[in-house]
Amino acid sequence: MTDRYSRQELFAPIGKEGQQQLQSKHVLIVGAGALGTGSAETLVRAGVGHLTIVDRDYVEWSNLQRQQLYGEDDAERRLPKAVAAEQRLRRINSSAAIDAIVADVTTSEIEALTEGVDLIIDATDNFDTRLLLNDIAHKRRIPWIYGACVGSYGVSCAIVPGETPCLNCLLETVPIGGATCDTSGIIAPAVQMVVALQMAEALKLLTGNKRALRGKLVSFDLWSNQYTAIGVDRLKKEDCASCGSQPTYPYLQASNHSRTAVLCGRDTVQIRPPAPVERDLETLAEQLSRQGGTVQGNPYLISYTIGAHRLAIFRDGRVLVHGTKDVAEAKSLYHRYLG
């Protein structure tokens, strides 16, 4: 095992000193989907000492095409992604400290999640969460790396508080959103390219090679063979509410974080309870079984199928209502079966 990281240490910008720095770092990955699994595996193989991976969802068959840590058994068991990722990552590197958290990342959780973190990796699928990450990163002066992909397109940018413009600044100037995997699908090479872009910047930051950062927002389309790198230094705004001279961090306020969300690429609505709860899944399974329908479960969630809909109920009170994109319909089903 003494030569485990030898090829990485031979790379002069990292060397033995950089390898030691990697082993002392704590990285938070928000999202354990395509970008999250790729990033997590890269960091664990690179020797990052402490990794926290947070995700609100569970493994489904449609994930297996591009989410590299998961297998068919995970999809059959509907295992929470964070749990399945942790199990695979521990087999890859048993010396890494890995925390798996099954939760939705909101204003209630973000302060605790970022305690003692050296770098945040964006592996989310929505700007609601990204802007939350952006604000906490600037409040705590933690660098973070934005990344997104859809179809054959991808985009990435490293954001360093106090030095670069933030995501809030970029959104006002650069068109970096629009299509979703629900409408355009996605191919695995686009995922892998964004992971490569994010992880290259991550290794630079974690080994003290900040001067090597691109300083640009990179976008590409693998199908049409396009690649663009936009200099972002001049986009920083002095009056930005997230990174300006008098920041108010608006996205850390609960009023700016929705309690329902239509999930990307899914005929699914997520509903979070108005206050934190701890559901007794065993008792709930018994109650639901008396209402008809089909109840299945594992230690982390219950799956309740009734008619054309399926409700996945987590211990933290969150519910994924499958079979609809209509928030009102999802809420109606939620209240009908869960009170």
**Active-site residue set:** 181
Helix/strand/coil for 139: helix
| Assigned token pair, 322 | 């499958």
In angstroms, the first-to-last Cα distance of the chain is 54
Q: For the CA atoms of 304, 310, 311, 314, what is the dihedral angle to 10 degrees?
A: 70
Instruction: Yes or no: say if 141 and 162 are a contact pair by the CB < 8 Å rule.
Output: yes
Report in angstroms the alpha-carbon separations of 53 from 63, 70, 252, 285.
17, 14, 20, 28
In 3D space, the residue among 81, 259, 105, 263 whose CA is nearest the CA of residue 180 turns out to be 263
| Assigned token pair, 196 | 């490569």
φ/ψ of residue 65, rounded to 5: -65, -25
Question: What contacts 255, CB < 8 A, 6 or more positions away?
Answer: none
φ/ψ of residue 271, rounded to 5: -125, 130
Report in angstroms the alpha-carbon separations of 210 from 163, 164, 173.
11, 12, 25
Alpha-helix residue ranges (DSSP H) falling in the chain: 6-9, 15-23, 34-46, 72-77, 81-92, 110-113, 127-140, 167-171, 181-184, 188-206, 281-289, 327-338
Amino acid at 95: S
Instruction: Yes or no: say if 28 and 120 are a contact pair by the CB < 8 Å rule.
Output: yes
CA 89 to CA 67: how far, in whole Å? 13
